[in-house]
Amino acid sequence: MLPALQLAVGETAPDFALKDQNGKIVKRSTIKKPLVVYFYPADATPGCTVQAKSFNEDIDEIRKKYGADVVGISGQDVASKQKFAKELGLTFSILADEGDAVRNAFKVPKAAFGLLPGRVTYVLDKDGKCIKVYDNLTDAKSHIDQAKSALAAVSSSKSSGSTLKW
């Protein structure tokens, strides 16, 4: 039997409710704006630090220009999230997915021949429908540009009244 494929463009993302670094519950279905959901292997590792810093550098633009928000998700606990967020001065939520229930619900593929949790970014529209999937373990910084491109396409299709096609 083949493993189920990850969340695909056009599908509605699974709902989730996870605690962020401040102990606040973030529930996907209550966020009524575009949302970048990025899964990363672990807090405080080199690639994950680059990725989090890059999203943090662009979070104001993502919020103001695209009316969107960002959440990062990995399997460490809230204490780990607090430490990582404080060290980097993060101003967006990173969520504790202990036990990987949300990672599994999104069917995020493993990386490095199944040895590491994958680094995958999903861009969701305001209704939670997936409009972009980007999977790249090694180039953590590239996820930000990919997310912003997808948000720009949604923004322009919304203002022109056209439907986004990939």
48 is catalytic: yes
Annotated domain spans of the chain: 17-23+32-157
pLDDT in tens, 60-105: 999 999 999 999 999 999 999 999 999 999 999 999 999 999 999 9
Confidence of residue 164 (pLDDT cuts 50, 70, 90): very low
- The full DSSP string for the chain is -PPPPPP-TTSBPPP-EEEETTS-EEEGGG--S-EEEEE-S-TTSHHHHHHHHHHHHHHHHHHHHH--EEEEEESS-HHHHHHHHHHHT--SEEEE-TTSHHHHHHTPPPBTTTTB---EEEEE-TTSBEEEEEE-SS-TTHHHHHHHHHHHHHHHHHHHTPPP--
- Active-site position among 26, 35, 48, 78: 48
pLDDT at 110: 86
pLDDT at 111: 80
Predicted TM-score (pTM) of the model is: 0.91
CATH for 17-23+32-157, options being 3.30.70.360, 3.40.1390.10, 2.60.120.20, 3.40.30.10? 3.40.30.10
